[in-house]
């Protein structure tokens, strides 16, 4: 059974940094594109970043580009999101997700992701 478990969410001050991680089990990790998504209270879940199987293709939402960095460790079955220069509007529950792919792509719609973690809360205060 595939399982994704996020960790690292906490409360930080605006301008600070935080790293959230996701550990995967029960799936052939290197065959999956991985993504980070977030959902703020009263808002739709939205795309944050995605990374291809090899890590060679990465995509970011415009709102986080140049502030956030997604990475993966295929030896440890983990994916991480380094978040710098955090803003109050980054406050949300952050979810990692995985989708089985046959090409080295990071460009996939949110609806294609089959496996989701339970989420980790990130709160940024001003």
pLDDT at 111: 96
pLDDT digits (tens, 9 = 90+) for 12-58: 999 999 999 999 999 999 999 999 999 999 999 999 999 999 999 99
Tokens, residue 121: 């809360």
pLDDT at position 73, please? 98
Across all residues in the chain, what is the average pLDDT? 97
* DSSP, residue by residue, 37-82: EEE-TTS--EEEEEE-SSS--EEE-TTTTTTEEEEEETTTTEEEEE
* Spatial contact of 98 and 32, defined as CB atoms under 8 Å apart: yes
Give residue 38's pLDDT: 98
pLDDT digit string (tens) for 101-117? 999 999 999 999 999 99
Q: Are strands 32-39 and 58-60 parallel, antiparallel or unpaired?
A: unpaired
- What is the per-residue pLDDT across 66-80, written as a single tens digit (0 to 9) for each? 999 999 999 999 999
């Amino acid at each position: 059974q595939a399982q994704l478990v996020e960790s690292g969410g906490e409360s930080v001050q605006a301008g600070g940094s935080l790293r959230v991680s996701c550990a995967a089990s029960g799936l052939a990790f290197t065959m999956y594109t991985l993504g980070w998504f977030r959902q703020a209270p009263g808002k739709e879940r939205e795309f944050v970043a995605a990374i291809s199987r090899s890590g060679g293709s990465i995509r970011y939402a415009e709102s986080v580009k140049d502030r956030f960095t997604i990475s993966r460790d295929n030896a440890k079955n983990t994916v991480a999101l380094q978040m710098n220069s955090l803003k109050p509007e980054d406050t949300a529950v952050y979810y990692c997700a995985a989708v089985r792919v046959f090409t080295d792509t990071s460009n996939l719609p949110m609806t294609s992701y089959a496996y989701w973690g339970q989420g980790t809360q990130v709160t940024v205060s001003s």
